[in-house]
Structure 1
Amino acid sequence: MHPLVKLVLILVIVVVAVVVWGRVMGRKDPDRELVGLTDTVRARVSREISAGHTINAIKIYREATGAPLADAKRAVDGWFVPGRGPGVRDAAASFTEGRLTREARARISELILGGRREDATSLYAEATGASATEASAIIRTWDTTQDY
């Protein structure tokens, strides 16, 4: 093979490797501080998903966590939003079926705001009969600003 062809081939491989690396690792601004998944961020993501704005939800998730696009998409696709979410009982259905009273919902929100998610999970499971996994999934994305 001609040396010039080898050089071009090597350059193409290097460029492809750099592009793939950039896509996998995502664009990260080292000066920007990430806020993480706070309750406010969770609420914003839930609202965007509920409104059918999945792309905006992914964008909010990435801005908060710095996650690569593929990871953010997976997280948002698996996000539990009341009224949606495969494999998890819906908090709104629990309320309408009489399993979760207004007082219980208010108490769960208080516990979450107080940083006591484990207690909120236990209360939700006890009040609704949900499994620990289902209750944990619901409490993990519970939006304290919504009236379920």
Structure 2
Amino acid sequence: MPPVVKVVLVLAVVAVVVIVYGRVVGRRDPERRRTGLTDAVRSEVSHEISAGHKVNAIKVYRDATGASLVDAKTAIDSWFVPGRGPGVRDAASSWSEGRLTDEARSRISELVVAGRREDAMRLYADATGASSTEAQAIIRSWDVNQNY
């Protein structure tokens, strides 16, 4: 066998070993339990998006769910669009699911009546983990006579 063929063969074997080793050892722990989209994770994702840290939001989402990069990016891209995405649904349902306390509801209503919508949005976002865009959409339609 010519020496060039031997060198190519050795390089091919080394490349295969490196690739297999990287796939087996370099893999994340498959037994690691994913937390899923808990309220804390949703809050963290919403805050990362609101702060303009989309890459961090994608990382948090992937770590929690195990989603692929493409799926996580798609979820984050639609997260804060008004009327779409899990973040908006979560913010809109926060009062019906009991994540917004009675005290927070009454304080938000007081702020809305007083014309302090910015403070009401900030309080709503802090209380529910909603992004600033989500909080703005909710507070804009806040009805102080409604029992949220």
- Per the normalisation by structure 2, the TM-score is 0.46
- Larger Cα-atom Rg: 2
- Per the normalisation by structure 1, the TM-score is 0.46
